[in-house]
Structure 1
């Protein structure tokens, strides 16, 4: 694996929405210098507030000795943001034309050896590379919200991406205390989102068909599958379900049931009625708790859960 000639510690974050701010916090917490650019009015103020709200959580996870909120700088152009960055993390909305335009602009001003990474949750990197002069520098680096706590990042190269770029991206995300995963073959939605999307589609069917409420679906995951998946994931969970013979017996015993029409693969039509049912169910379940309060509770939980996962599963 090709190594960096020096420790890469300069990052540019383009777009400071939920994901962009999550990246900023993660990089600051792990001792990076961060330069941010977002043309939206009030972006810097919102980012400062979000950092302040999340910093207690990242402190509990553990800060790099050089972690410092003051290592963040906001600038007024993409050119100024990316000119010295080792890694440029793009986080603009999921519109192909917009992303292609922004990535081409980044490409014009980035260093020759910089990694240009898109946080897209589903667009193929080969499509994103189309308007770049140096497409070999681009990878998809798809994180999970909240980025400053959840360590997984899916790294995907496009047709023009070099292996050297992928290797260097892997190294820099490891320096940010993440658990990078290289996806060898690009597909829409990558891995984790495709798995979550399948579950989401089935959940919508259960609500739409009047079989379960949104609260009951959440309860089924929270106190059933979710507890097991947090430790081992679906394959090892089913391996244990097979008893002493593990997955071999599990597939022999329960494999034929896969042909039964238990699930509906296509999503239900998202009618106004279904949307209102889902929205009302979520708002009722949340009760008087604001999104900010729920986020704080989620962060506290994730910090404790990640410690457990590290203790009980490599």
Structure 2
């Protein structure tokens, strides 16, 4: 079906990620049909939408909250949630057998031309789609948390995913204001989480080697390259670092130094002592602030940052 014809989205699994997706879909004027086995699922998702609404309103015009809530519904089964859907976003726990079971249930109630996207961060689409009746319409649409604020979505097709399915998902996410990137080859962790894992590995190594405190290592990122990375990725950042000669000059002149540093990067393990070190370091850095308060402060800052960099995107 045409992307312009997508009016109703089914959200299967309404935990933190699913409720966040639902908030974004509602903000863009779509109807959202949900399924989640938790008895408190509807209460949770409606409360999440209410909390997210003021943040979404700061980024773009949104309809009145009561109008949005009227377009949100919860259903007693997967089949009834998806039977009127034009797009499906699946957000169930990262368990392969569960995912396959849910995909079977989705297909049982869904029109044959509708794309099914999974928010999975770790499972391979080819593995997930092996038991599907129509695997060509399945792919991974992995967001970064929180999906209603962060624009990144990684679109990953499996062995049997059609090119049209990928195109539809990319265009649909784009219409929502997301920055969809096409991952052309299946790989564990996709792209963004692998980059995040690589940085964290070295950050853990530096902490374990007592090179700097956990808080100071975080500050080294947040107050330095992290600010540039909010505007552009590592390749373009270093292209500018090369001056007029760009990335060619940078590689020729500083490439050997980076190569030497790569050879010295650490390979830490998250053993009990390292775990205790990280827990103590975070505790010392955040003091009495709760996770909820930190997340709220993060989201407020994210909104300001997204509004500031919007002209650059």
User: TM-score, normalized by length of structure 1?
Assistant: 0.93
Q: 1:9 to 1:267 in 2, by over 3 A?
A: farther
Residue in structure 1 matched with residue 36 of structure 2 by the alignment: 38
2:118–2:142 contact (8 Å) kept in structure 1: yes
**C-alpha displacement of 1:89:** 0.8
Distance across 2 between alignment mates of 1:118 and 1:266: 33
Unaligned stretches of 5+ residues in structure 1:
none
> What's the CA shift string for 1:220-267, capped at 9, x where partnerless?
111001001111211111111112111111101111123314566674
Residue in structure 2 matched with residue 3 of structure 1 by the alignment: 2
Residue in structure 1 matched with residue 78 of structure 2 by the alignment: 78
After TM superposition, the structure 1 = structure 2 runs for residues 1-314 of structure 1, keeping only pairs within 5 Å, are 3-4=2-3, 6-65=4-63, 68-262=68-262, 267-311=267-311, 313-314=312-313
Distance across 1 between alignment mates of 2:149 and 2:91: 18
RMSD of aligned residue pairs (Cα, Å) = 1.8
2:153–2:179 contact (8 Å) kept in structure 1: yes
Q: 1:34 to 1:297 in 2, by over 3 A?
A: same
**C-alpha displacement of 1:7:** 2.4
Distance across 1 between alignment mates of 2:225 and 2:292: 26
Determine helix, strand or coil for the equivalent of 1:92.
coil
Determine helix, strand or coil for the equivalent of 1:210.
coil
1:14–1:36 contact (8 Å) kept in structure 2: yes
Aligned residues: 311
1:60–1:303 contact (8 Å) kept in structure 2: yes
Distance across 1 between alignment mates of 2:264 and 2:74: 47
User: TM-score, normalized by length of structure 2?
Assistant: 0.94
**C-alpha displacement of 1:70:** 2.4
1:202–1:264 contact (8 Å) kept in structure 2: no
Distance across 1 between alignment mates of 2:51 and 2:282: 23
**C-alpha displacement of 1:3:** 3.4
Unaligned stretches of 5+ residues in structure 2:
none
